[in-house]
Chains A and B, each alone.
Chain A
């Protein structure tokens, strides 16, 4: 059967903002799906509220709606577009839930839209725990003993029956939100209650714990003819008990005998057939290592994070094939994209080992518990490939950018034996390193297996790494030892540190004996067939397969794993950069290590190196390819941080040079420079003791921004308003010393504006300005920001355009530059200069139609902006308003505060677009998933600096809209002064009323992120109940716009980006 000819137009649902459990992998999947459908001549309509994605860029889908992923919006869009079908399997849980809702409400049937790739029954059977269990039992597949509960009594009864530990999973959630393992009654009470609250249908699953068993996953595909294949099997280093998103995962499966492998393969095929999925699915098993008994843990009836990983690990583009299958193709009539000759109906065989390592946000969230469990905490991941497990593992660790270059962690090697064992038992993000340390101290593999249930195979491999550490430290350096260390994955710095050999000597041994990495191809077939994919990884082996072309090449350094502060937007910029380089006639080479992204898709660049973004690894690729130059300004701070090392080694950096980068990034140097140029910037000093700090207070007065030059324990930047606060900060948050000074800056309270520009060394082009809704003091990544500025006066705008031009000119910026300004009523201050791509680049590119990255790359290669169609200076204002609203994964990290502050906490963002500010901000809040209440009560609790007339005005508006206001005693007094009625409530009353009478919080705390404080608990509770928590008065004011429109019953209009731009 060939493709279904009746399909002329299809709608694809994206996954919306990045949150923990739903990251860049869906941009990759959706982009692949759009491309696969488009090449069939079918019109594609895409809906996604996430502006940082490649999939929402012109040229991927035919019609792009950057609109909220709500049922209302979908109905309106479906009515307008009337597609023949809808692809629900590419937008994660968001896309799946939305399609289910549309199917269930009869919308799809009414409009004659077919649900492709999945059907309602199969989603139901895979996602509804009870239905799934029944299905598994009917096909003879074992599942853990379990029960469904919607009340506490049945939970207790189940625990009595099967005993502890018991696993709790809420139905219909992502990333295991609200799940956990209970080992005693009290934990059961807590987790079960929270689980029921988190579930969309108030339902949880209680399950016999198979913690400690091996966790094995299969990525399965099936077509309408019932042909099935396994794309990749994967084994978790961490046994069952740690969410697979938080586990180190290895591909292919390492420790299963063929019989065990086939037993689980057979089960996977049986399951996908029983669910009648046409496309891809992921099946997770627990396997008892003692007797090979297994149970099915979970099935994801769609492409997922695991399928993105499997696609990159095996070189088999699952989403692309899943899209083709949804169109009616069968696997055996499709070709393997990698070999282009052999069939897609086969099972990839790997001749390398792949290690995925999670990237956790604990560096940002000092207060968060690092314990890993069934609730996913990682924001992203890295992947590494090599010919041995050890090398792949060590490469993955280097790729994390946590300053680790091996298995040795100082803080862990300082632990006493007892504390070390406790650390291992704690099962946190550093368990791997603690295990390695135990091995180093002579603990046996058997003992550690008994303790951790990590398979002895993995432990022996760690022991092997430790053995070589020891050899490097104790033995004389020999060529043999160096070769072995290289093969095992030791990076240069680690070899130097352990052996004490000098870099020059190491380099000599290397050169004399020709010990350099070679590059091997990922080809899906273990070398059996010739492949054309330009997808490479390094290893220490004999043959180098990467053939270097004679063309002029440019190397783009990617942005690594998704983390807070460095999200998918930089992958967007890298991909755009690669495309621009190709268009200009050069060979585009990318080096990156994030398996979730479009940049590491094998057909994005001309050549892909899947490597750590470490100086050594980048230099090796440079040595191999001899590019014309390297682009570092697109991959965020990750790639920019390489500038110094590459510049020192004489590598040509395209665009802005290292010296300028350094000037912009060093606060002191920048302050001097701006001073010289007569551009205002907040005054600031660096202090090393309390006396010095208070001397600065004398000079600058309050409020002040304080931050350590060296971050300890995660508590970083803060705005202080009084001596007491400053003293407290200096005592609690930082350890002051000569080596670790604290930076104190004048705090400019004002309106913040982001300016992104393209510069060519002479002129600049500013596509548009984005003004923040929240005042200075809130991290720009966490601010709501608005294009075009909604309050900034023209003369201020002119001033920042002029300042940006002068700064760009002075730093000789070629390419992209981002400058953050504060406007304090009279003067404009420069807060920050980033000589690189920024979070706002994809947004501005999309809402103005100015292809910023393309112009930046052209500038780096010598083209002049004056000659482009977009001209120079400030670009014309579009007749639309776009509002970026940050999205927090507050529900995932239960011990993290949601209060806004100078430290970034959001994981993703959405864009609300409409013709005016009110509608756009309303859409932004809707897209961010904020519940917008129409009635009920708001609790108001404000710190002193915010108890102002302006605040009173906003609160009065809430009162006027019919909301009952509750307030803490102090805040109530303030409100009374302004004639606003408020019921005074105690904290315990607020706790009780939250989610009942109280439907939202307006709470500006003195200090954010202090677990244990009363207001922290209230905010947590509100977040867990899904209530709006507004922690800045400016946000509260903007939120009123949404309330007003919703109260007025305004019917929103939904348009494609092109339609909005067309009006301009």
Chain B
């Protein structure tokens, strides 16, 4: 089975196809993690994106029943240099080819993924077509030109009806933009009583549970499209200690009147250093975002920058100068990636118990 990848600018790659026989149009992005492909593919934040893995050997440890960040694959397609059809791990239940077939997601392998990465690096993330259905490049071009990429995917990813994960500790109202299971697990493991509200919930609804804290989740799409979420957050600000991760961080910025912008090719991987300005310590972080918070826009709105990316100096964390609210752009729940920043969850709990961010 042939597989093709067609980029909006006309660049085309032919490799071998795997997974489902399907064709998808999405935003082509790259991820530099060397492990964690199953968690990455099931992370709802990848909804709508075709994922090019920079590590060339994908699928080595197979697919297992625990590494799910949601109920299934959200990414629209997977591109790899080489895939392992005979994986090896004590938890593996199937190989990546079988899994992508089951999940109806197309994959392309045996293409120059480094060349694709460099293209994205130089020209930015790009609308692309992935197909394993034997379509030609002309057809791919037509599909690409016809399709518009949705920017409001958080509305769908965060739509799961309200649910609760009971806990003996503080009560937290979670606003869902497409939350990763690992975040829920990290909060729940600390005994928190979680009430997860679907995207679009109002502040009033969320306050009915009299929360000790508010949590804003990660999610896909352009945060500026999440107008309802921004409005809800604005109304919640100051009512209870608030913590946001990834899109939650961007939503907080917008809620205080700041701006977000689309990055050229974002940060996706598990190896960036982020410095905490207050502790003067740096941690290696798990990252997945294509938008970032404009530093000056939030500084003018009462926010203090707490964390910076060591590579490009972008905003990685902030807190409100007077209200109990803080957020980070990266992923303290890791999954995949380093666990160095798990302390932020404890900081949230301390804040709910009357401490400071």
Residues of A within 8 A of B (CB): 225-227, 229-230, 252-259, 261-262, 265-266, 269, 289-292, 330-332, 341-343, 345-353, 387-389, 445, 455-457, 460, 463, 487, 520, 525-530, 541-543
Contacts and interface: CB of A to CB of B under 8 A. Distances in A.
Contacts of B24: none
B70 interface: no
Contact of B311 (A259, A265, A343): A343
Contacts of A525: 32, 271
Nearest to A343: B310
29 contacts: A229-B273, A253-B35, A257-B35, A258-B336, A261-B35, A262-B338, A265-B338, A266-B339, A332-B273, A343-B311, A347-B271, A349-B33, A349-B34, A350-B55, A351-B113, A352-B56, A387-B82, A388-B56, A455-B88, A457-B86, A460-B88, A526-B32, A526-B114, A526-B269, A527-B30, A527-B121, A528-B54, A529-B121, A541-B112
Interface residues of B, number: 56
A261 B36 CA distance: 9
B282 interface: yes
Interface in B56-104: 56-57, 60-61, 64, 66-67, 81-82, 84, 86-91
Given A262-B334, A456-B86, 16 more contacts: A227-B283, A256-B35, A257-B61, A258-B337, A292-B90, A346-B273, A349-B33, A349-B54, A351-B32, A460-B86, A460-B88, A520-B114, A526-B30, A526-B117, A527-B118, A528-B121
A346 B90 contact: no
Contacts of B66: 259
A350 to B, nearest CB: 7
Contact of A543 (B64, B112, B283): B112
B54 A254 contact: no
Contact of B117 (A225, A257, A351): A351
A275 to B, nearest CB: 18
Would you list the 3 A-B pairs with minimal beta carbon distance, nearest first? A526-B54, A343-B310, A542-B112
Contacts of B338: 262, 265, 347
Q: Is the interface of A mostly helix, strand, loop or mixed?
A: loop
Given A331-B282, A332-B310, A525-B32, A257 B89 contact: yes
Contact of B271 (A253, A262, A348, A351): A348
Contacts of B67: 257-259
B272 interface: yes
B319 interface: no
Contacts of A253: 34-35
Nearest to B85: A460
Contacts of B311: 341-343, 346, 529
Interface string B269-290: 1111101000011111000000
A541 B115 contact: yes
B16 to A, nearest CB: 11
Contacts of B282: 225, 227, 330-332, 345
Given A343-B310, A349-B269, A528-B117, A387 B90 contact: no
B273 A345 contact: yes
Contact of B55 (A255, A332, A342, A526): A526
B12 to A, nearest CB: 11
B38 to A, nearest CB: 8
A424 to B, nearest CB: 19
Given A266-B339, A350-B34, A387-B82, A289 B90 contact: yes
Given A262-B338, A457-B86, A527-B54, A255 B114 contact: no
Contacts of B284: 229-230, 345-347
Contact of A387 (B56, B88, B117, B271): B56
Given A255-B89, A257-B67, A266-B339, A342 B310 contact: yes
Contacts of A261: 35
A254 B56 contact: no
A63 to B, nearest CB: 36
Contacts of B33: 258, 349
In this complex, which of B64, B280, B311 has the most chain A Cβ atoms within 10 angstroms of its Cβ? B311
A235 B318 CA distance: 38
B112 A353 contact: no
B335 interface: yes
Nearest to B336: A258
Given A350-B34, A526-B32, A543 B88 contact: no
Nearest to B54: A526
B101 to A, nearest CB: 20
B39 interface: yes
A258 B121 contact: no
Nearest to B113: A351
B22 interface: no
A253 B36 CA distance: 12
Contacts of A229: 273, 284
Interface in B296-330: 310-312
Contact of B114 (A258, A445, A541): A541
A291 B56 contact: no
A348 B115 CA distance: 19
A542 B86 CA distance: 26
In this complex, which of A257, A387, A389 has the most chain B Cβ atoms within 10 angstroms of its Cβ? A257
B86 A445 contact: yes
Given A526-B117, A542-B111, A543-B112, A346 B88 contact: no
Contact of B90 (A291, A352, A457): A291
Contacts of B339: 262, 265-266
A486 to B, nearest CB: 13
Nearest to A351: B54
Interface in B182-203: none
Contacts of B312: 342
B206 to A, nearest CB: 32
A387 B57 CA distance: 8
A929 B55 CA distance: 46
Contact of A255 (B60, B269, B271, B275): B60
Contacts of A457: 60-61, 84, 86-88
A530 B121 contact: yes
Contacts of B32: 349, 351, 525-526, 528
A389 B59 CA distance: 13
Interface in B22-46: 30, 32-36, 39
A1063 B273 CA distance: 53
Nearest to B282: A332
Contact of A351 (B55, B273, B336): B55
Contacts of A526: 30, 32, 54-55, 114, 117, 269
B281 A257 contact: no
A545 B232 CA distance: 49
Contacts of A350: 34, 55
Contacts of A463: 86
A343 B87 CA distance: 35
Nearest to A346: B273
A236 to B, nearest CB: 14
B114 A543 contact: yes
A456 B34 contact: no
Contacts of A252: 34, 55
Contacts of A258: 33, 35-36, 39, 67, 335-337
Nearest to A223: B282
Given A229-B284, A256-B35, A257-B91, A351 B114 contact: yes
Contacts of A269: 340
Contacts of B270: 347, 349
A349 B271 contact: yes
B310 A256 contact: no
Nearest to B13: A542
Contacts of A352: 56
B6 to A, nearest CB: 15
Contacts of A542: 13, 111-112, 115
A346 B271 contact: yes
A290 B91 CA distance: 9
B53 to A, nearest CB: 9
Contacts of B117: 351, 526-528
